[in-house]
Amino acid sequence: MDKINIVLLVGDDDPGRIMFNALKADFNIQGVFVDQALSKAKMLKWRIKKLGYFEVFGQLLFMLFSKFAFKFSLPKVNKLMQSLALDKNDIPAEKIKFVGDLNSKEAIAKIKALCPAVVVVNGTRILKEKLIGSIDAHFINTHVGITPQYRGVHGGYWSLCQDDEENCGVTVHLIDKGVDTGGVLYQGKIKVEKSDNFFTYPIKQLNCAIPLMKKAIQDCSSGNEKVIVRNQNSKQWYHPTLWSYFYHLVIRGVRLELE
């Protein structure tokens, strides 16, 4: 039986590499398109316009703090990935067809030329309608949060901050023009332990997402996908500020552990 032809759109990071290595044995990966992050200046300008100077300043402080904290959590993260048998080895150079803005004309033309049955998305910028509508194929995204309640970033962390461990998990969904608003195909919950922190939640979420993504690819390629209708409140979440992080650390005990 022939393998399903897929294309991967990923960020230049470990989650993208892990997803590639998890899917390569079961599907024919025609090519990998690596998204280059928006310039810091453009991202900062967008955030200020959306959230305001004070909120963005707090987010920047938290991001600096989290970079420092990550160094202390790296052994724990690596140990967890090893225990889950997650492979973060580099994507072979011959598989990488494009590096840059995935919404560009060049990227779209190269994706169209491959004619994939399914496009798998993991950790990219927001994809525009001109890309999503360019080929007759489903675009499926891995979102580290339960939608629609926890759209945006750090869905697992924010669910715990809301004392909502029941909705600490992952969503595999179709991509539409909104931010994590596409039809839900599969969702899974993760088990949170006392030793977990800001950096281990997404590793557990990604591990939970991999078998769900495999099912979603098979469903969509055969036309048997079923969208789960969820009527819960919808909210988009952003990076925490440094002061909101410490607030939730004290009130909820949701931490960014330094050990």
14 band by pLDDT with thresholds 50, 70 and 90: very high
pLDDT of residue 258: 39
Once rounded to an integer, what is the mean pLDDT over residues 150-170? 95
39, pLDDT greater than 80: no
Rounded CA-CA distance 213/140 in Å is 8
pLDDT confidence tier of residue 257, bands split at 50, 70 and 90 = very low
* Neighbouring residues of 99: CB distance < 8 A, sequence distance ≥ 6: 12, 33, 34, 36
What predicted TM-score, i.e. pTM, was given to this entire model? 0.93
What is the per-residue pLDDT for 199?
93
* Residue showing tokens 């033309």: 109
- The runs of H, that is alpha helices, within the chain are 14-23, 40-51, 53-83, 105-114, 129-132, 155-161, 201-222, 242-251
Q: How far apart are CA 201 and CA 192, in angstroms?
A: 8
Mean pLDDT of 45-61: 93
d(CA 172, CA 177): 16
- Cα–Cα nearest to 14, from 123, 165, 127, 158: 123
**27 pLDDT above the threshold of 90:** yes
Quick one: pLDDT band at residue 230, thresholds 50, 70, 90?
A: confident
Evaluate if residue 253 carries a pLDDT over 80.
no
Confidence check: pLDDT of 90 > 60: yes
In this structure, are residues 105 and 111 in contact, taking their beta carbons and an 8 Å threshold?
no
pLDDT at 41: 78
CA angle 222, 85, 88 (to 5 degrees): 80
pLDDT exceeds 60 at position 259: no
The mean predicted confidence, pLDDT, of the chain is 93
- pLDDT, tens digit, 9 for 90 and up, residues 127-143: 999 999 999 999 999 99
Q: Assess contact for 84 and 207: CB atoms under 8 A.
A: yes
Residue 243 pLDDT more than 50? yes
Arithmetic mean of pLDDT, 225-241: 92
Q: Is the pLDDT of residue 256 over 60?
A: no
Mean pLDDT of 145-155: 96
Out of 55-64, 77-86, 243-252, least confident range? 243-252
In the chain, the domains with their CATH numbers are 5-251 (3.40.50.12230)
Select the more confidently predicted residue: 186 or 163.
186
